[in-house]
Chains A and B, each alone.
Chain A
Amino acid sequence: MAEPDPILVNDWHAVVELDFLASRGSFETVLLGVPIEIAESGEGSGEVRVSRRDTHAPLPARIRYGHVFTSIGQPNRDIVHFPECHEADRIHVTGGSIAVHVSGLRAVENFLDMGHFPFVHTDYLGVEPHTEVEPYEVTVTEEDEILATKCRFFQPLASPSADGGMMVDYEYRVARPYTVCLYKSNPIEPERWDFIVLFVQPVSEERCIAHPYLSYLAHNLDNETNRWFMQLIFAQDKPILENQLPKRLPLDPRAEVPARSDASSLSYRRWLAAQGVTYGAIPAAA
């Protein structure tokens, strides 16, 4: 197993949902192969302590987006800022963390992928024969993020507030190697976007925990319905991801056979290689 890359070591990663932590006081998990413990520091203080379970060294902690974030190195940039997560006319809710036995990079790639909707999320995010992925645009921004725009897909039940099938507009943004978000047109206010961000915790190279955070336009939605929908969708992805071989993401463009609809996946793999991300990946042979 490779050592985690500095770009991942010196960054923030979500490691537990705050509400879940509150329900048990402390929680043990693994980040980039390092066993860690997260504990509430005192009754109602709202503070948390994070430490390594092997050396007992303290680790930095931040609370953001309904989750505890930590780092096993020295974070040299802040947790990514998502303005949608602070807008008052939205409901903000964690989607429920879900462990997946596959590289977190495969999980990010799955999140970017529209082509699987009719087959994996049948009757919700897609349905045959509406399987076409129309051409869309992928760019790498000045901030060195991946942006996929002009994405469109037919969805029978796009979100818990949808009522019937519609063409849905999407934008995707990869902000960090293990952080990805999407904007999708709201069924009631089509000119505004619903927002989902996925913080993927790399447990090991071949295991991850996906921590979703949702900021949907409020329209009659409640937290429970929103979480239920997210968990339903994720439960459909999990068995597919766990049947991907190999479990790590191959970065060699010849390792798997893409189609045009995989433009965002191709761009993501190239971008990971350019940033020197190897943890959870199979680097291309030199």
Chain B
Amino acid sequence: MSRERRWFPVCRGEEAVPRHIVHTALLGQELAVWRADDGTVNAWENRCPHRGVRLSVGTNLGDRLKCRYHGWTYASGSGQCLERPAHPGEAPPRIVKARRFGCVESDGYVWVRLAGEGAGDGPAPGFGRGTAPPGLTLRSIHVWAPAAAVADALARHAGEAPDGSPAEAVDPYTVRSAHAEAGEILYAMQPVADDETIIHAALAEAPPASERIAVLRRENGRVCALRDAIEASGSP
């Protein structure tokens, strides 16, 4: 299966707050991810079709994005260009559209697939746990290393934890581990570019509210230490 046909997480759903535009990238493709006021999440090529300005420096107007350079606007969902202010009152040609990618919100994350629309192949977007969403999403961590190397290091690292808990590489981009302390943890890689990865992680079960901060801090420390080790060694 080509990586273009696979779903990858690109940000936590709660990062796509109303009237904001998230700037990220997948497999070297820059993305502008944004939520319309009706809740729809859009993942577009981060480039205005008119003269190439990044849409992420534009404005999220709630039902459309407005480009920073000449004010062209593009509709949530269809990506259709709605206005070209240099020609007021004139409907833009139908072919003028923002380039859209497949985009689904699931398990607390926004998942994007670069190739085409529709179902495609490979695992469904999400951590593959069926209907039960994860109990707690952790902080996402950026690593200067290829995704496969990061996933591999995660699997080994989790397996070498002091409590000896097992880790499992579900596939080249997904790792599942079971910790005595934290319970089940799910890690999904976002291959930003060839040598750049973001680790998105979630706990299957939410800890008691009184422990939430301590758990977030502990798991953040664990992944950051792993990142430091990978980046220091050059090869994990």
Contact = CB atoms under 8 A, between A and B. Distances in A.
A243 B88 contact: no
A133 B86 contact: yes
B69 A116 contact: yes
Given A131-B71, A245-B30, A259 B87 contact: yes
Interface residues of A, number: 28
A187 interface: no
Nearest to A243: B54
Contacts of A143: none
B88 A132 contact: yes
B49 interface: yes
A265 B69 CA distance: 15
Contact of A257 (B46, B88, B96): B96
B83 to A, nearest CB: 9
A259 B84 contact: yes
Given A128-B85, A245-B30, A119 B69 contact: yes
Given A258-B50, A259-B87, A261-B87, A240 B71 contact: no
Interface string A232-247: 0000000110011110
Contacts, number: 72
Interface in B84-110: 84-88, 92, 95-96
Main secondary structure of the interface of A (DSSP, over half): loop
Interface string B121-159: 000000000000000000000000000000000000000
A256 interface: yes
B234 interface: no
Interface residues of B, number: 22
A258 B47 CA distance: 14
Given A259-B87, A260-B87, A244 B52 contact: yes
A136 to B, nearest CB: 11
A280 interface: no
B85 A120 contact: no
A129 interface: yes
Contacts of A259: 50, 84, 86-87, 92
A212 interface: no
23 contacts: A109-B51, A114-B86, A115-B70, A119-B69, A119-B85, A120-B68, A128-B71, A131-B71, A131-B85, A132-B87, A239-B57, A240-B53, A243-B53, A243-B68, A244-B52, A244-B53, A245-B47, A250-B52, A257-B95, A259-B50, A259-B87, A260-B86, A261-B84
Chain A to chain B: the 6 pairs with minimum beta-carbon distance, closest first: A131-B85, A261-B86, A133-B86, A115-B86, A243-B54, A257-B49
Interface of A: 109, 113-116, 118-120, 128-129, 131-133, 239-240, 243-246, 250, 256-262, 265
